[in-house]
Amino acid sequence: MQQGNFTDQTDVAARRVDIYAGIHKAVRALLCDTLMRVARLDLDDEAEVRDTLGQVNDLLDFCEHHIANEERFVHPAMEARQPGSTAGTAAEHAHHAADLAAMRADCATMKGQAGVERDAAWRRLQHRLAGFAGDSLLHMESEETANNAVLQACYTDAELMALHQQILASLPPEEMAADLCWILKGSSPAERFQIMAGLRADAPPPVFDAMLELARQNLDAGSWQKLAGALAPLRIAA
């Protein structure tokens, strides 16, 4: 009986609006990809060092923007209807901000130094990034369960969708493009189709065309073909 109740409750929650779902898939995809790139970095290849550090800094920017958006929009919504509900999340965000600053310093050292100093900074960066990834995965799981429980108990789906749209409307174009890129990379074929079909329905044609090209450039060939096929009949170049 208890297992059945738990399953029923999980199924109901899964049908509710989840404002964390897409962006957290993006964070996970970018975290894991960057962690692997840093771990296998050739410190003697200057082009590879430059490109890898570029992605690390993109990750740090991405995470800073994500934290800022949650604190600007999501936390006030939670506090408005359940005061005190964001205390744990806010404390973890402060810890993450310190981690991000430390990793920026490691990247700066790697960029400006060579030899022993670069090697030492690379090893620090690997450890910091691995710890940050682990903490972030647990943090996001907590947000998707505990924080979503608050949001879904206190707000209707229409209100949550309006909150989500408010967040999207606040994003500058370059941040929106980066978010979409990694959301698509981290999502299932069905989820990619839902995202792009929504854009096709709601966005002006030039915006949709630009986002479609972004998907084509960033998805592997098999994933792109599945998405293009699902979106047909559109004039999409293979």
| 67 shares its domain with 141 | yes
Provide the CA 135 distance to its chain's centre, in angstroms: 14
| 154 shares its domain with 218 | no
Count of domains observed in the chain:
2
Contact 29, 182 (CB under 8 A): yes
Tell me whether residue 179 is in a domain: no
Task: Please give the residue range of the domain that contains residue 8.
Answer: 2-171
Tell me whether residue 133 is in a domain: yes
Contact 196, 214 (CB under 8 A): no
| 23 shares its domain with 140 | yes
pLDDT tens, residue by residue, 172-213: 999 999 999 999 999 999 999 999 998 898 888 998 999 999
| 164 shares its domain with 211 | no
| 154 shares its domain with 209 | no
Tell me whether residue 21 is in a domain: yes
| 135 shares its domain with 27 | yes
pLDDT tens, residue by residue, 41-94: 999 999 999 999 999 999 999 999 999 999 999 999 999 999 999 999 999 999
Q: What DSSP letter does each residue of 18-83 carry, written as one string? A: -TTHHHHHHHHHHHHHHHHHHHT--TT-HHHHHHHHHHHHHHHHHHHHHHHHIIIIIHHHHHHHST
| 127 shares its domain with 210 | no
| 159 shares its domain with 233 | no
The CATH number of residue 121's host domain is 1.20.120.520
Global pTM reads 0.87
